[in-house]
Amino acid sequence: MDKMKGLVAIVTGASRGLGRAIAMEYAGEGASVAICARQSSPTGLPGTIGETAQAIRDSGGEVLTAACDVAVEEQVADMVRQVKDRYGRIDVLVNNAGSMVLGESILEIDPARWDQVMLANVRGPYLFSRAVLPVMMEQRRGSIINLGSRMGNDPSQGGGILYSSSKAAVHMFSFCLADEVREFNIAVNVLSPGSLRSEGSAAIPWTQRDWHERVDPREVGPSAVWLALQDASSFTGQLVLRAEFGRTWGT
């Protein structure tokens, strides 16, 4: 229960689903957790960072909350500043916040929608990584975990032109960043969680076809903890599948 004792982790998009599950797993392993999300879901999905924070506190964990749009540079910088001022360090960043658009063709996706998803899915990880890296570089250790997807490298998975393009960009961003910060002993990896039973997935009608095969977001927790404990000397620049944790990686 104390694998992450003494560590400070930022988890974006932690008001529900996977972000909430990872934040609670980290807190349960002893980390001080900073969580953020927008004030309210633009799609009306349930869950707030206040509810996640209360659940963490109820279980005895330490948490800092911030309302933050990951695509807005000033809000990202302000949150990272709050975390550094309160805890004095930042050890882990989980870039989980994002948007999903599935099943729509290029002619159905207008430019504003394209930009909205790319801002959340690609600009967000860029801004947060850029903001925390000076702290991690000074520490000469850190772990950045970006959420990827099989849809980012396999068009047959049904991600569509927008979501798949955004995740492919996250994958390559992560690989290049891993090389760039290796000398500072900072790990950068991509975690593909697989199909989840989350609030966001429940809002997509066709996910009901394989709902029984999907996993609870809490099952991703142990693999996210393992990645959080890595640095550039142990494991970096990798795209890993949660379903293979403990078999092909994380052993």
Is residue 251, in this structure, part of any structural domain at all? no
pLDDT interval class at 28 (50, 70, 90): very high
pLDDT value for 203: 47
- Mark out the alpha helices in 186-245 (DSSP H runs): 199-202, 221-228
Domain containing residue 25: CATH number? 3.40.50.720
Is residue 122, in this structure, part of any structural domain at all? yes
Is residue 218, in this structure, part of any structural domain at all? yes
pLDDT value for 239: 98
pLDDT, mean of residues 180-204: 81
Longest dimension (CA), the chain: 50
Residues across the chain: 251
| Annotated catalytic residue, options 26, 87, 126, 163 | 163
pLDDT digits (tens, 9 = 90+) for 47-96: 899 999 999 999 999 999 999 999 999 999 999 999 999 999 999 999 99
Candidates 141, 149, 237, 136; CA nearest to 193 is 149
Count of structural domains within the chain: 1
pLDDT digits (tens, 9 = 90+) for 163-187: 999 999 999 999 999 999 999 999 9
Q: What is the pTM of this model?
A: 0.92
Is residue 112, in this structure, part of any structural domain at all? yes
Is residue 54, in this structure, part of any structural domain at all? yes
Residue 102's domain spans which residues? 8-244
DSSP string, 8-29: EEEEES-SSHHHHHHHHHHHHT
pLDDT value for 211: 42
pLDDT interval class at 202 (50, 70, 90): very low
Instruction: Dig out the tokens for 155 from the structure.
Output: 């068009």
pLDDT, mean of residues 97-103: 86
How many percent of the chain have pLDDT more than 90?
78
pLDDT value for 194: 86
Is residue 40, in this structure, part of any structural domain at all? yes
Is residue 2, in this structure, part of any structural domain at all? no
pLDDT value for 40: 61
Is residue 250, in this structure, part of any structural domain at all? no
126 is catalytic: no
pLDDT value for 103: 78
Q: Distances from the Cα of 91 to the Cαs of 12, 114, 136, 210, 232, in angstroms?
A: 14, 32, 7, 36, 13
